[in-house]
Structure 1
Amino acid sequence: MEHYIGIMSGTSLDGIDAVLVVTDGQSIELKGCANAPIDAPLRERLLALAGGGAVTAREWGELDAALGQAYADITRQLLADTGLNATEVRAIGCHGQTVWHQPDAKLPFSLQLGDGNRIAALTGIPTVTDFRRKDMALGGQGAPLVPAFHQRVLAHPERLRIVVNIGGIANITVLAPERPVLGYDVGPGNMLMDAWCRRHTGAPYDRNAALARQGQVLPGLLAHLMAEPWLALPPPKSTGRELFNDVWLDARLAGDDAVADVQATLTEFTAAAIAQQAQAWPTGELLVCGGGGHNPLLMERLAALLPGWRAATTTEAGVDMDAMEAMAFAWLAHQTLHRLPGSLPEATGARRPAVLGALHFPD
């Protein structure tokens, strides 16, 4: 068993999560967690970049370095909290911050910022980054990458389980006994809800769905949102802020809708897009991880839209819902160092499984 650190900052840009695990690749145990907000000015610059804003080479380099510094800082915080020495950690697996994901272009690519050289140099720990582009070079979407980890920690020999990661984007992993794993993005998770709440209240997200509970779902708007052609595409597929952003939402609003009604409708949109995919399968367990698991209205709506299903969080199934993605990238770092595949072609559409990531040494 070896110690690994996993670092994740997702499309929600709501903070950085870091975990310490011990794993042999087959079993994995969570030993510690740390989280930190992204500095507000840095967050605003990243939001502008991910929204398609123009950026100079200098600004690009500054953002890459600033994120590398932030990832190194949270690693050192985690080591201090757990009392572990850097020399006892085999490697860091750092997802980086996605600023553009374009899997369906003539030359597909995905860009994550966060200088792995800086992380390795400042922590003294070998660091694996750039997990997505090898899969894309092999014809895959480069996403989602967590289904292989979901299979490792949550597959049940007799029970259908659909794992739903609700971060900025929502993605599902279908774990059906004696069938290949299936995984793909299903649409916006918290991204549009957070953006609308931030625009109208200044709060980063709708805590306890307080704003959404004040409103009513607008059937016409919901139908307009659900008519997005991307939702009907077959997997493999992945998406991000490049599609589901403020411009996309504003083009579908009437202009005079009440703020709370729009928030309620966006919550229902996320739930309906997820439920639509789950309904294609026999009833089973829907296990939610990520920030969406803390939205009580979203959880209620998932349960209501999927009668006969058991809707719960992955925490209830034994894997911390807040640590899940960071744990996945710690496990992916293990796979890389042991030259083992980290991707599932069934999920990404790549021609074959591959060893993922670029390895940066501290010396």
Structure 2
Amino acid sequence: MEYFIGLMSGTSMDGIDAAVCAFDDSLPEPRFQGVQAHAAGHYPAPLRERLLTLQRTVPQLSLRELAELDRDVARAFADAAGAALAAAGLPPGAIRAVGSHGQTVFHDPAGTCGSIQLGNPSLVAQRLGITTVADFRRADVAAGGQGAPLVPAFHHALFARADRPRVALNLGGIANITLLPGADASDVSGFDTGPANGLMDEWAERQLGRAYDEDGRFAASGRLHPELLEALLGDPYFAAPPPKSTGRGDFHLDWLRHRYPGLDGLAPADVQRTLCELTARTVADAIRRHGPRTQEVLACGGGTRNPLLMERLRALLAPMALGTTAGAGLDPQHVEAAAFAWLAMRTMRGLPGNLPAVTGAERPVILGGIYRA
């Protein structure tokens, strides 16, 4: 048995997930055996705000400030990994490698061929005393891909069934889907559908002074605004064909005001309710358009904790069944961290980690760089 730690903080930046994962010794590809321990880390409030600012605006920062952010994110990631390691009761020497996604602060594969994640992997490796795999996205971008989404390969390994067409749905800061029509990896496809928690969180923080809309109560107190919804659905991204990926640099409050200049004249709760509907509609439309044979949708990510969002998805997707990945054996809050443990395992074994049909890359490539402790 081999152990890897996966580290992930998504575009919502609501926490750092660390998962200690076990893999068997199957050849040529070890099989995922489950999460042995999990820990949730958090950015200090000033650091989180600085990182969010990088996503929301065109940043003006010095090289010193960039280096400081790179260092501070790495420290936070290493602390989360250390907590997971302690929870597992394992020494550092028992871990083959850490897969550290880092914190995405820039993603523009089409315009600049770039995707930047902060979190100095050499510092993570040295603080933990464990070899660290990081910088997963740029190899795919260099091969002509979007560099995202990368988790569909893991979704296929865990959730694909020959007799039951499925979709794996991640409701993070951005929503993305993996279409799993059968057991054959060549049939897998996936892409980012648009905003999820990130845009709702930003509006809730502006209106309530809290980082997110707990249990979707703010949205549930409002009414759907049809004109606002139609204006937002008119963004060209939603109709664009895959492969495609996006981020909070595309969907933020300035985007919201650009699409609907009369925003400030609406009741804040009505806006939140409409943003929730936007996520549900764009996800459901994407699944119906690209996976019409789907029988079951397995959701994961922070959005599964929003009862209103899940209720709307269930209504819009019917008669497809909507559940969470817990029904398939993996806690919905652990999926993305476990995916980067799985990707680190593949890198250390010299196996490709991307799916060209998903990212648009010219070929399968080994992802990430290896940083020795």
TM-score (norm 1): 0.98
CA offset at residue 80 of structure 1? 1.6
Amino acid in the other structure paired with 1:6: G
The residue number in structure 2 matching 1:218 is: 225
Amino acid in the other structure paired with 2:118: L
The residue number in structure 1 matching 2:351 is: 340
Is the Cα contact below 8 Å between 1:290 and 1:321 reproduced in 2? yes
CA distance in 1, matches of 2:224, 2:324: 24
The residue number in structure 1 matching 2:275 is: 266
CA distance in 1, matches of 2:55, 2:9: 13
The residue number in structure 2 matching 1:134 is: 139
CA offset at residue 283 of structure 1? 4.1
The residue number in structure 2 matching 1:208 is: 215
Say which of 268, 280, 284 aligns to 1:275: 284
The residue number in structure 1 matching 2:102 is: 96
Mapping of residues 268-347 of structure 1, within 5 Å: 268-280=277-289, 281-347=292-358
The residue number in structure 1 matching 2:63 is: 57
Q: Percent identity?
A: 48
CA distance in 2, matches of 1:47, 1:163: 27
Mapping of residues 117-128 of structure 1, within 5 Å: 117-128=122-133
CA distance in 1, matches of 2:117, 2:32: 28
Amino acid in the other structure paired with 1:140: G
Is the Cα contact below 8 Å between 2:34 and 2:330 reproduced in 1? no
SS in 1 for 2:211: coil
Matched, 1:108 2:113: yes
The residue number in structure 2 matching 1:361 is: 372
Amino acid in the other structure paired with 1:129: A
What 5-or-longer segments of structure 2 have no aligned partner?
25-29
CA deviations over 1:282-336 (Å, ceiling 9, x no partner): 2410111000111100000011111211011111221110000000000000000
Is the Cα contact below 8 Å between 1:92 and 1:127 reproduced in 2? yes
Is the Cα contact below 8 Å between 2:21 and 2:36 reproduced in 1? yes
Give the aligned length. Answer: 361
**1:297/1:303 CA distance change after superposition, 3 Å:** same
Matched, 1:230 2:241: no
SS in 2 for 1:205: coil
CA deviations over 1:48-89 (Å, ceiling 9, x no partner): 112222111000000000011111111111122221000000
CA offset at residue 28 of structure 1? 2.8
The residue number in structure 1 matching 2:27 is: none
CA distance in 2, matches of 1:80, 1:160: 38
Amino acid in the other structure paired with 2:180: L
CA RMSD in angstroms, aligned pairs only: 1.0
CA distance in 1, matches of 2:335, 2:312: 22
Is the Cα contact below 8 Å between 1:189 and 1:292 reproduced in 2? yes
Amino acid in the other structure paired with 1:115: N
CA distance in 1, matches of 2:236, 2:134: 32
CA distance in 1, matches of 2:11, 2:325: 20
Matched, 1:47 2:52: yes
The residue number in structure 2 matching 1:74 is: 80
Q: Spell out structure 1 runs of 4+ moving beyond 3 A.
A: none
Say which of 257, 263, 270 aligns to 2:266: 257
Is the Cα contact below 8 Å between 1:283 and 1:308 reproduced in 2? no
CA distance in 1, matches of 2:130, 2:151: 23
CA distance in 1, matches of 2:228, 2:154: 36
Matched, 1:189 2:196: yes
SS in 2 for 1:96: strand
Is the Cα contact below 8 Å between 2:181 and 2:294 reproduced in 1? no
CA offset at residue 183 of structure 1? 0.9
Amino acid in the other structure paired with 1:349: G
Matched, 1:240 2:242: no
Amino acid in the other structure paired with 1:258: A
What 5-or-longer segments of structure 1 have no aligned partner?
none
The residue number in structure 2 matching 1:3 is: 3
CA deviations over 1:249-293 (Å, ceiling 9, x no partner): 122331210010000000000000000011121241011100011
CA distance in 1, matches of 2:230, 2:102: 35
Is the Cα contact below 8 Å between 2:42 and 2:76 reproduced in 1? no
CA distance in 2, matches of 1:74, 1:310: 34
CA distance in 2, matches of 1:220, 1:308: 27
CA distance in 1, matches of 2:32, 2:72: 34
